[in-house]
Chains A and B, each alone.
Chain A
Amino acid sequence: MRYLKNVVTLQLNEAVCIGCGRCVEVCPHAVFHIHNRRAAIVERDACMECGACARNCPVDAVTVNAGVGCVTGLINRALGRKGDCCCTADSCC
């Protein structure tokens, strides 16, 4: 299944990349590939902005506005309610 096109905030600074391959390892949607000893984004629209790549990049070559894509959570936040996801005191996604 594919989600919306051209919306994700994922950015890769290839000049800084050292080709360690951590981003390939942690990405649950195979967004990255190692090409000529550098990471490359090959499936940008598959990105779900979980932030695993950016968190694990030792040279900060990857940036993304990570967050949970959850309507309930975003509505809660907009209404100033607690819980940035659908998680309330008794339930969590």
Chain B
Amino acid sequence: MESDRCCCKKSADCGGSSQHVRTLSPEWDASDFLGMIRMRFGFGRMSYGMEPGLYAMGSPTPESPVLATANFKLTVDVLRRELRGRDLWILVLDTSNVNVWCAAGKGLFGTAELTRRIEATRLAEHVTRRRVILPQLGAPGVAAHKVKSQTGFHVVYGPVRAKDIPEFLDNGQNATRQMRRVAFPLRERLELTPIELRQHFFAALILVLALGLTPVIWRGWDQGLWNHGWRGAIAGVACWLAGCLLGPALLPWLPGCAFWVKGAFLGAALAAGLAMAGVVQGLMPALGAVLWLGAGVSFLLMNFTGCATFTSQSGVKLEMKAIPAQIAAGILGLVLWSTDWWL
């Protein structure tokens, strides 16, 4: 995908030389697809980057537009795929391999890096119009008026999504209201679930092993596993899947505004479902399941606030006051659940 690779290792040296314009092709090869899958599961995310600097797509002229982006490779891959058949310049900023929005929140995709990169690549020598198009989600890190005063480059914020860029360019670089809005559709929510599942995998595994094996202490291997343990193991897996997969998928339809409320409802409903399916038997274990599954799914879904694109930090801080209640409900629920083993 990338030709004329720079001989120098350090990005600063690389971007410092104006003749070093590399090219980007819109084509994806097998390694790009594999990389995307790997990124969706969060393996090696922080090292999936590409060399910052100025790149050419197609055959850009000095009149061609300049688009700035982050050096997270998946970000650049999506961008170049959407810009098939266009002639333009791509200015890849050094964001430590982090995507645009997260990098902007940390200031990595920021005023300082943009001005530095404009100067290091001698962008003004490549184009006639001092104008650079930024992804709108880069705005939390970049002060457009400061970029203008420091480099003379006028910042235009493009659409949120790369797929809208062609229309944005054809429309005289005007973004429609819809292009500026961030939604959180099912597809995007599902794209984030593999990382959630992975992040909480070990906690879930410990829970499954604990609930599956502890009854053996009171009931012996045979009874402990085949009368009691399997129920806990299934409930543990259900808790993990509900908190990391089902909850994010059902997010708009779960009752409440706070994520901990949505999760508590889902967990309680899950406990009821397990009771109806015969996985949970008896009043005490059923009550316990409502409590600990409610608490568990509530906590897991509350963690999804970090992925959600409409949650504010002030709101999340307020939500976190539910943590002591979640811990209490979880402990009480597990005690009630365990009465099945020793009572």
B257 touches A2 (CB 8 A): yes
Does B68 have its Cβ within 8 Å of any Cβ on chain A?
no
B303 contact set on A, CB distance < 8 A: 71-72, 86
Contacts A25-B157, A56-B139, A92-B46; is A8 near B305 (CB within 8 Å)? no
B182 touches A70 (CB 8 A): no
B310 touches A26 (CB 8 A): no
A4 touches B157 (CB 8 A): no
Interface residues of A in 66-93 (CB under 8 A from B): 66-75, 84-87, 89-93
Does B10 have its Cβ within 8 Å of any Cβ on chain A?
no
Q: How far is the CB of A9 from chain B (nearest CB, A)?
A: 6
A4 touches B315 (CB 8 A): yes
Does B339 have its Cβ within 8 Å of any Cβ on chain A?
no
Does B113 have its Cβ within 8 Å of any Cβ on chain A?
no
A29 touches B257 (CB 8 A): no
Contact stretch, chosen from B124-132, B140-148, B205-213: B140-148
B136 touches A28 (CB 8 A): yes
A82 to B61, CA, bound (A): 45
B43, B99, B199, B314: most-surrounded residue (chain A CB, <10 A): B314
A29 contact set on B, CB distance < 8 A: 181-182, 310
Chain B: CB-nearest residue to A25:
B157
B307 contact set on A, CB distance < 8 A: 93
Interface residues of A in 2-50 (CB under 8 A from B): 2-5, 7-9, 22, 25-30, 46-50
Question: Which of A74, A75, A93 is the one whose CB lies under 8 Å from B102?
Answer: A93
Tally chain B residues at the interface, Cβ within 8 Å. Answer: 52
A75 to B302, CA, bound (A): 12
A56 contact set on B, CB distance < 8 A: 139, 142-145
A92 contact set on B, CB distance < 8 A: 45-46, 98-99, 102
Question: How big is chain A's contact interface, by range?
Answer: 35 or more
Does B252 have its Cβ within 8 Å of any Cβ on chain A?
yes
A25 contact set on B, CB distance < 8 A: 136, 139, 157, 175, 180
B310 touches A7 (CB 8 A): no
Contacts A25-B157, A25-B180, A92-B46; is A69 near B308 (CB within 8 Å)? yes
A2 to B307, CA, bound (A): 15
B181 touches A28 (CB 8 A): yes
User: How would you classify the secondary structure of chain A's contact residues: helix, strand, loop or mixed?
Assistant: loop
B257 contact set on A, CB distance < 8 A: 2-5
A69 touches B316 (CB 8 A): yes
A7 contact set on B, CB distance < 8 A: 312, 314-315, 318
B310 contact set on A, CB distance < 8 A: 1-3, 29, 46, 48
Q: List 18 A-B contacts (CB under 8 A).
A: A4-B258, A4-B318, A5-B257, A7-B312, A7-B315, A22-B144, A26-B157, A27-B180, A48-B310, A49-B313, A51-B140, A56-B143, A66-B313, A69-B312, A87-B98, A90-B43, A91-B195, A93-B306
15 further A-B contacts with Cβ under 8 Å, apart from A5-B257, A71-B306, are: A1-B184, A22-B145, A26-B139, A27-B180, A28-B137, A47-B312, A48-B310, A56-B139, A67-B313, A69-B315, A72-B303, A85-B102, A91-B45, A92-B102, A93-B102
Listed from nearest, the 8 A-B pairs whose CB atoms lie closest are A70-B306, A52-B139, A67-B313, A26-B139, A28-B182, A69-B311, A69-B316, A49-B312
